[in-house]
């Protein structure tokens, strides 16, 4: 039996984060959803990853030995798993109940997983749906004959759920980590509050004297070749990936920092996907920051209303109450902020946008936003956005590939109406 991971219609709820990646490439806890599926549910060589067609080229580069939108690999019955379902014991138990072809697990109207005949996947209708992520639920239900109603499976629907889930997953995933102990180096003195065994220091990591690690309320992981400068305080649960530099400051509880990030200032309850910079002072709280983002000195977001009320966000053109008191911002890939940028809570910042001053509304992709400084939102030329991306990626010894460039061009096209509705003008930004 083959395992296949798919995107459902909820991918749009996670814009702009999922404009440049499939849903299962979102990071939560210590890894992406895809990596959790491979680690806990299936061997990588047996998994097919379905995604929207315009993401296919970049996804193939990410998984050169994997199967991406490869229907020729469907040589047996298929176990379909939703790319927003977090792999854990609850999901594993549901999958075990799908004992015969035709069975589908449904939770709150969404397909969690389905066991289908291989020939069903060969139909043009299901192939079109599964590589566009539109009408997927309807098409999977059509090829299923027996529904299993489930509850309790962690299947993400809105972006703020990632932030809420993150500290819980960091804790549970680090409890089962195999690489225990302190394999890196430290300068004396290092202060550890709580149980020292709840701190994991990978090989090649280095902590300068004066670093404070607070593991009283959750574990801490510091990845390979990551350098932590003094004075830094890291509070668990916290996960920091490999090849990062922490330039001093506060990494408060509930943070996941992906590989090759540069972090300074204060960060709380947030996810930095990878290859992003917050080098200087400023506060980022209860937020998700994509890849290749550069936050200028003093960049700060709100994550709490003055009234202490719940925060609302615009999702798919509708304003939804998150039901949460703490919600920060959701920053797409390749965003850049100027020094002294301030962003209101619950805002989404689109791919390759540039921010200046105070940001009190969602910013469309490829937009230079400086309304707080008296300028109209202005479209960023796609050629300029690509060249900026190429320059930043080159600084980390990563080459912007042809597939990646084509993906950015497609995202530019897909977000054209978003800019039009927001009144973004063409021309050059004038402040």
Do 283 and 298 form a contact (C-beta atoms < 8 A)?
no
Residue 427 structure tokens: 């021309």
Same-domain pairing of 221 and 286? yes
In a domain, 424, yes or no: no
Q: Are residues 259 and 119 in the same domain?
A: no
Residue 330: inside a domain, yes or no? no
| Mean pLDDT for the chain overall | 93
* Polymer length in residues for the chain: 431
In the listed set 102, 121, 156, which residue is the last one of a domain according to the structure?
A: 156
The pLDDT value given to residue 348: 98
Q: Does residue 62 belong to any structural domain of this protein?
A: yes
Domain co-membership, 131 together with 204? no
Residues 140 and 239 in one domain: no
State pLDDT tens for residues 67-77.
999 887 787 88
Structural domain boundaries enclosing 168: 160-309
189, burial (CB in 10 Å: exposed 0-12, middle 13-18, buried 19+):
exposed
Region 314-329: what's the mean pLDDT?
95
Is there a domain that residue 385 lies in? no
Mean pLDDT of 293-312: 96
% pLDDT > 90, the chain: 79
pLDDT at 42: 72
Phi/psi at 81 (nearest 5 deg)? -125, 130
CB neighbours of 58 closer than 8 A, spacing ≥ 6?
20, 401, 403, 404, 407
Based on the fold, state whether residues 16 and 140 are members of the same structural domain. Answer: yes
What the block records as the tokens of 2 is: 């083959």
Looking at the structure, do residues 278 and 187 belong to the same domain, yes or no?
yes
340 falls within a domain: no
Nearest-angstrom CA–CA distance, 50 and 282: 38
Provide the pLDDT confidence category of residue 44 given band limits of 50, 70 and 90: low
Domain boundary among 275, 309, 343: 309
Domain boundary among 291, 309, 327: 309
Per the listing, tokens 């749906």 go with 129
Which DSSP state fits 35?
H
Going from the C-alpha of 143 to that of each of 90, 126, 133, 238, 353, the distances in angstroms are 24, 9, 16, 42, 41
State how far the Cα of 247 lies from the Cα of 230, in Å rounded to an integer. Answer: 7
In a domain, 419, yes or no: no
Q: Is residue 203 part of a domain?
A: yes
Residue 178 is part of a domain; what is its CATH number? 2.160.10.10
pLDDT at 85: 95
3-state secondary structure 200-211: EECCCCEECCCC
CATH code of the domain covering residue 114: 3.90.550.10
Q: Closest Cα to residue 77, out of 48, 105, 56?
A: 48
Would 234 be classed as within a structural domain? yes
Residues 150 and 197 in one domain: no
The helix (H) or strand (E) run that includes residue 60 is helix 56-62
If we measure between CA atoms, which residue out of 354, 352, 356 comes closest to residue 400? Answer: 352
**Number of Cβ atoms within 10 Å of the Cβ of 146:** 11
Q: Name the burial class of residue 368, with classes exposed (0-12), middle (13-18) and buried (19+) by CB atoms within 10 angstroms of its CB.
A: buried
Asked whether residue 139 falls in the same domain as residue 254, the answer is no
Q: Residue 274's pLDDT band (boundaries 50, 70, 90)?
A: very high
- Lookup: tokens for 367: 């937009």
Closest by alpha carbon to 394, among 225, 257, 275, 295? 275
Domain count for the chain, please give it: 2
For residue 79, which of 52, 59, 110, 50 has the smallest C-alpha distance? 50
Range 372-400 average pLDDT: 94
pTM of the model: 0.94
- Regarding whether 231 and 145 lie in a shared domain, the answer is no
User: What pLDDT was estimated at residue 200?
Assistant: 94
Whether residues 182 and 151 share a domain: the answer is no
User: Do 350 and 332 contact (CB within 8 A), yes or no?
Assistant: yes
Ranges assigned E (strand) in 269-416:
271-274, 277-278, 283-285, 288-291, 294-295, 300-301, 312-315, 318-321, 330-331, 336-337, 342-343, 348-349, 354-355, 358-359, 367-369, 378-379
User: Which position has the higher pLDDT, 46 or 206?
Assistant: 206
Q: In this structure, are 165 and 74 located in the same domain?
A: no
Domain match, 189 and 151 both = no
């Amino acid at each position: 039996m083959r395992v296949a991971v798919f995107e459902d219609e909820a991918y749009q709820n996670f814009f702009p984060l999922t404009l440049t990646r499939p849903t299962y490439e979102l990071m939560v806890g210590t890894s992406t959803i895809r990596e959790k599926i491979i680690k806990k549910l299936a061997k990588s060589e047996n998994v097919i990853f379905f995604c929207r067609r315009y993401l296919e080229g970049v996804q193939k580069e990410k998984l050169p030995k994997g199967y991406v939108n490869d229907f020729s690999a469907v040589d047996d019955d298929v176990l379909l798993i939703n790319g927003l379902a977090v792999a854990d014991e609850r999901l594993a138990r549901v999958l075990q109940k799908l004992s015969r072809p035709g069975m589908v697990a449904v939770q709150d109207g969404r397909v969690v997983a389905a066991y289908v005949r291989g020939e069903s996947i060969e139909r043009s209708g299901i192939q079109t749906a599964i590589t566009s992520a539109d009408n997927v639920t309807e098409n999977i239900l059509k090829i299923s004959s027996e529904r299993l109603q489930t509850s309790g499976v962690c299947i993400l629907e809105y972006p703020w759920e990632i932030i809420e889930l993150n500290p819980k997953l960091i804790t549970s995933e680090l409890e089962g980590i195999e690489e225990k102990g302190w394999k890196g180096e430290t300068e004396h003195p290092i202060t550890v509050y709580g149980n020292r065994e709840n701190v994991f220091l990978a090989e090649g990591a280095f902590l300068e004297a004066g670093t404070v690690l607070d593991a009283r309320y959750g574990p801490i992981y510091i990845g390979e070749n990551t350098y932590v400068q003094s004075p830094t305080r890291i509070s668990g649960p916290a996960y920091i990936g490999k090849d990062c530099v922490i330039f001093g400051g506060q990494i408060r509880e509930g943070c996941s920092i992906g590989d090759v990030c540069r972090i300074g200032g204060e960060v709380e309850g947030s996810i930095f996907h990878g290859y992003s910079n917050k080098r200087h002072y400023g506060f980022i709280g209860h937020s998700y920051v994509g890849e290749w983002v550069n936050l200028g000195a003093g960049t700060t977001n709100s994550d709490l209303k003055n009234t202490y009320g719940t925060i609302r966000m615009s999702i798919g053109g509708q304003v939804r109450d998150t039901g949460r008191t703490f919600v920060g911002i959701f920053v797409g890939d390749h965003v850049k902020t100027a020094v002294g940028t301030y962003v209101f809570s619950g805002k989404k910042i689109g791919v390759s946008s540039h921010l200046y001053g105070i940001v009190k509304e969602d910013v469309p992709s490829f937009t230079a936003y400086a309304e707080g400084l008296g300028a109209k939102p202005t479209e960023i030329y796609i050629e300029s956005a690509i060249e900026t991306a190429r320059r930043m990626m080159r600084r980390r010894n990563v080459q912007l590939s042809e597939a990646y460039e084509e993906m950015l061009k497609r995202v530019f096209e897909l977000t054209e109406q978003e800019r039009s509705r927001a009144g973004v003008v063409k021309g050059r930004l004038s402040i």
